[in-house]
Amino acid sequence: MSSDASEDTRAAAYAELASVGPYGVRPGHALITMVEPHPGHEHAYNRWYEDDHFIAGAMAMPWIFAGRRWVATRELRRLRYPERSAVAQPVTAGCYLTVYWLTEGRYAEHMRWTVGINKRLNRDGRVHQGRTHVFTAFQDHEATVYRDGAAGPRDFHALDHPYTGLVLEVVAAESPERRAELLEWLRARHLPKRLAGSPAAMVTVFRPTPLPLDRMSYVKQVEGVDTRLTLLWFLQRDPRDCWEERFTGLDEDVARSGLGRVELVAPFIPTIPGTDRYVDELR
């Protein structure tokens, strides 16, 4: 893994690059990736992702400033709906979810790097092949809705704050023309009502963007880039403790609005870095 000391790493260019372009703290973009390790590869996948890929394939890259891994045990995956999901087939597919924040306005620069580093990792045999990407997309930030207004952590803290659960929700507008209307209904009406008094401190809303044409072949092109929105609910309680009370019926709410449909609601809990905790609870 080490580089030859004599290798030209173009270090002089870094000072020049650091002096230009946006460098705010707002999560203007995200990488959201839900992955299913192949049966029998659960331990190997977990160790590869956490010990190598989370760092070398993501956190060490320019303009990713936060990341966190989440896991769905078999008990958590049984709570998912709708049963006939347009995102996960079957709906229980996708044991691990990883979320990364990217600096606003730095998407293009990051994509140039991520394509290059993933080609290098593949060439060097540092990519675990025993996995399937169920839902992997770079996404642009559209809104954050807070339960407590200005109090509490901001969205740029969300992947560092010790939240005890996360719910991934994917919704789709009836047509590309109606997605803005769906977003406004979520932001102004639906989410404030659902957040009030709930264990969710905030919901971030993103819209997916197409993956580059020179992406890795094992990652399929993103679907629904014109109609979908991705919601991340950050919870201060284990989702199993509040599921029936707070997270059932989201699909009915969206359907009643007449603006779209829910394609997936999936709860997760955080992994414990450096351990294989929960791996034996996946199957």
> Which pLDDT score is estimated for 216?
59
Q: Cα torsion at 167, 191, 257, 207 (round to 10°)?
A: -60
Residues of the chain with pLDDT under 70: 1-6, 213-220
- State pLDDT tens for residues 210-233: 877 665 566 667 788 999 999 999
> Which pLDDT score is estimated for 221?
73
> Which pLDDT score is estimated for 257?
96
d(CA 136, CA 87): 10
User: Do strands 64-71 and 260-270 pair parallel, antiparallel, or not at all (unpaired)?
Assistant: antiparallel
- Give the Å distances, CA to CA, from 97 to 51, 119, 167, 195: 16, 22, 10, 22
> Which pLDDT score is estimated for 215?
55
- State pLDDT tens for residues 191-211: 999 999 999 999 999 999 987
- Residues near 184 by beta carbon (within 8 Å), at least 6 away in sequence: none
User: Do strands 131-146 and 64-71 pair parallel, antiparallel, or not at all (unpaired)?
Assistant: unpaired
Q: Residue 214's CB: how many other CB atoms inside 10 A?
A: 11
- State pLDDT tens for residues 260-269: 999 999 999 9
> Which pLDDT score is estimated for 224?
87
pTM (2 d.p.)? 0.94
Q: Where are the beta strands (DSSP E) in 21-119?
A: 27-37, 64-71, 96-103
Q: Where are the beta strands (DSSP E) in the chain?
A: 27-37, 64-71, 96-103, 131-146, 165-173, 200-208, 228-235, 260-270
> Which pLDDT score is estimated for 5?
54
> Which pLDDT score is estimated for 235?
98
Token output for 142: 């559209």
